[in-house]
Amino acid sequence: MGTFSSFDISASGIYAQRVRMDAVANNIANAETTRTPEGGPYKRQHVTFRAAYEDALGNQVTNGGVRVDGVTSDGATRSVNMPGHPDADANGNVQMPDINVVEEMVDMISATRAYEANVTALNATKSMINEAIGIGKA
């Protein structure tokens, strides 16, 4: 594996975790959203990843890091009795997104730690390159 492959792998991990953090932030921000432009309550977003076997130019590589496979939404809802709510049905029930904010915070912490680990790996690679250049100058 070449030095620049290490940069590509770390960069792909950083990007993937940023997308994951964005999805989690959307979920937390919309945990109580009962009405969306598409109609109905907000749908929880979930990011899926896959191993990447090509670089940014589309060339096949053997160790390409990770790619965002997609951001999917599940339609899970929970019914809450809130008779005065404008979106309540005839029985006073409101369909709310089935989002557990505590679980989302755990996902956010996990994504943040993974992001930080990729930044650390990127910085370690950069440091090794600088040391190698220093050896060549001596």
Average pLDDT over residues 12-32: 96
pLDDT at 60: 64
* Residues 50-74 pLDDT 10s: 887 765 566 666 567 888 989 999 8
Stated pTM of the model: 0.83
Average pLDDT over residues 93-101: 95
pLDDT at 52: 77
Of 96, 95, 121, 100, residue with least CA distance to 10:
121
For 122, residues 6+ apart whose C-beta sits below 8 A from its C-beta are: 6, 7, 10, 11, 14
pLDDT at 8: 85
